[in-house]
Structure 1
Amino acid sequence: MFAQYGIELCRQTMSKWMIKSGNIFEILYDMMRRILLEQPVIFSDDTTVKVVGDNKAKSYMWLYGCGADSPAGKIVDSDIPNIVLFDYNSGRGGQVIVDYLDGYDGYMHADGYPGYHKTQATIVGCWAHARRKFTDAQKAMGKNKSGKINWAINHIKKLYRVETLIKDKNIDERYHIRQEQSLPLLNEFKTWLIQSKSQVLGQTDLSDAIQYCLNQWEKLERYTLDGRLSIDNNRAERSIKPFVNGRKAWLLSQTAKGAKASAILYSTVESAKANGLVPYDYITHLLEAFTQPEPDIEQLLPWNVKLGDGL
């Protein structure tokens, strides 16, 4: 972030500033987390991170969020705020998610990782993951043609066409259009899965894709139950991508303390971007506000801050 303004800092200075800033912004992070856990729909994902001071070969950066990528991307009539939060943890066990969600029992978009099932949340499956299973099977086939794989991919495209149709609709309209158009497509796809399972012999990429969908079916069709839900978990994957890209540059964290500070700063930056703010301007605004004896934390939430034209 500093480099784009022509400012070059050594790693040691950057690390000290990052940890100090993380400590300052932690109170804002905690408020956003409380607000996140009050929402009817959230999303989650995770990725690995190397921490030198940790005895484990790899640790994890978890992502939790709600809302849209930008103010313009919000569902019509939805009052869910745009929040992106990162959480560092040395483990990937289900208890890590349980502890962070602290009894959350709303909808949660997630992949097929079994650890999510230990929570009280109602898990919503991801059709992007399901589609990827079939496209991977298609690639594995090489020049060999498979009518079944093509049928599955094309059928999933039909589900996504409905999503394009409802993009600018309100919550109630999204629900009713899915009931009328998506449910019949889903029922047809499930029938095809059951029939194809007995026809595809042996352990193949196609059989794996079919079994994945059958195992996840209840979660995969759940998005049709509420107009606020999404067909996939791509919102989470887009949100975690800046961290994944950043990891290619800095490679690792020296300490768990540094990794936790990094989580808070990434949360601050990505939540700012999701609310149309320029991260540098938002962080400058926060640092100035936190020089006051008793800053109004609620007014510092990214959706409550107005800083010129934004992104």
Structure 2
Amino acid sequence: MTGQSFAMPLWLMRCFRMRLCKTVWLTPVVNSIRLKKTERITRDISNWKQMKSVKSFFDHTPSEGVRLLIQILFMFSKLYEIEKVSRENEDSVQERLERRQRDSLPVFEALKLKVLQAKNGFLPKSPAGMAAQYFLKHETGLRVFLTDRSIPIDNNPAERTVKPFVMARKNFLFSNTSRGARATAICFTIAQTAVLNGLRPEAYLTYVLDQFRKVGLRDEVVRDLLPYSDKLPDELYVNGIKPKQKKS
């Protein structure tokens, strides 16, 4: 993946969080942070015994560095909250882009300034220092989602897609030949693409092989059998329901 199409990796946010965990008394607050749940963060911090509100939390924080890292995590959380609202509203790709330009861009610019402060304030080899350097080094790629409506905010979908392969390799260990490795990769790609399109992989593959047996392997047949084809029968989908087509 090139620098121009970087997606925001979760380890970047975890590095900032890791530095916070070194402050033992702050651990309850750090552990309450869930990057996609701004409301829960606010509720948990507000209810924390030592703090009556988020404002009093910041007023009583003894370390400027810790305060800065908490602010950075809140901004990350806000970016994810905006994406969540977009999904819940079933925004079209154009509406998603407009929402990102209107709501996410100002947050990202503020986040960049805070990360720059972290870079200048923490040791270069510390988790927070390295995370800040990574963010600034790849800033151009990390902000692509703000101008390209087809780019997700992070690489979670890709990581979830390759996870079954990583887990399964413990069973088959190695491929004896390059052709075998390629065939394995193709099989996993088809299966995971089926999952992403709401299909039951076993039922889908059974149906595809049966169709090849009946009508042969031709280009027009293959097109109609692709996991994202709208000509597949409903019974192949989870709960027998074909997902709605996203608005363009």
Change (3 A) 1:195 1:273: closer
TM-score normalised to structure 1 length: 0.56
State the 1:153 CA deviation. Answer: 1.4
3-state secondary structure, aligned to 1:276: coil
Q: Percent identity at matched positions?
A: 29
**What is the match of residue 137 of structure 2?**
215
Structure with greater strand percent: 1
Q: Find the aligned partners of 1:253 and 1:195 in 2 and give their Cα distance.
A: 48
Deviations 1:83-122 (A, max 9, x none): xxxxxxxxxxxxxxxxxxxxxxxxxxx5xxxxx35xxxx4
**What is the match of residue 80 of structure 2?**
160
- Whose Rg is larger? 2
**What is the match of residue 169 of structure 1?**
91
State the 1:301 CA deviation. Answer: 1.1
3-state secondary structure, aligned to 1:228: coil
Q: Find the aligned partners of 1:230 and 1:280 in 2 and give their Cα distance.
A: 28
Deviations 1:181-214 (A, max 9, x none): 1111111111122233222235211111111111
Contact 2:68–2:114 (8 Å) recurs in 1: no
* Structure of higher RCO (CA pairs closer than 8 Å, 6+ residues apart): 1
**What is the match of residue 108 of structure 2?**
186
3-state secondary structure, aligned to 2:149: coil
* One-letter identity of the residue aligned with 2:201: P
**What is the match of residue 223 of structure 2?**
298
Q: Structure 2 matches for 1:250-269, cutoff 5 A? A: 250-269=172-191
Change (3 A) 1:202 1:234: closer
Structure 2 residue runs without a partner (length 5+): 27-65, 239-248
Q: Find the aligned partners of 1:202 and 1:223 in 2 and give their Cα distance.
A: 27
Q: Find the aligned partners of 2:138 and 2:228 in 1 and give their Cα distance.
A: 35
3-state secondary structure, aligned to 1:131: helix
Contact 1:282–1:307 (8 Å) recurs in 2: no
* One-letter identity of the residue aligned with 2:69: I
Structure with greater helix percent: 2
Q: Find the aligned partners of 2:200 and 2:124 in 1 and give their Cα distance.
A: 53
Contact 1:137–1:209 (8 Å) recurs in 2: no
State the 1:178 CA deviation. Answer: 1.5
Q: Find the aligned partners of 2:14 and 2:185 in 1 and give their Cα distance.
A: 29
Q: Structure 2 matches for 1:127-146, cutoff 5 A? A: 127-139=9-21, 141=22, 143=24, 146=66
Structure 1 residue runs without a partner (length 5+): 1-109, 111-115
Q: Find the aligned partners of 1:131 and 1:287 in 2 and give their Cα distance.
A: 43
Q: Find the aligned partners of 1:173 and 1:269 in 2 and give their Cα distance.
A: 31
3-state secondary structure, aligned to 2:224: helix
Q: Find the aligned partners of 1:157 and 1:212 in 2 and give their Cα distance.
A: 18
Contact 2:7–2:141 (8 Å) recurs in 1: yes
Q: Find the aligned partners of 1:201 and 1:238 in 2 and give their Cα distance.
A: 33
Contact 1:137–1:206 (8 Å) recurs in 2: yes
State the 1:133 CA deviation. Answer: 2.6
Task: Report the aligned-residue RMSD.
Answer: 2.2
Q: Structure 2 matches for 1:235-274, cutoff 5 A? A: 235-274=157-196
**What is the match of residue 29 of structure 1?**
none
**What is the match of residue 289 of structure 1?**
211
Q: Find the aligned partners of 1:251 and 1:134 in 2 and give their Cα distance.
A: 35
* One-letter identity of the residue aligned with 2:72: A
Q: Find the aligned partners of 1:309 and 1:255 in 2 and give their Cα distance.
A: 33
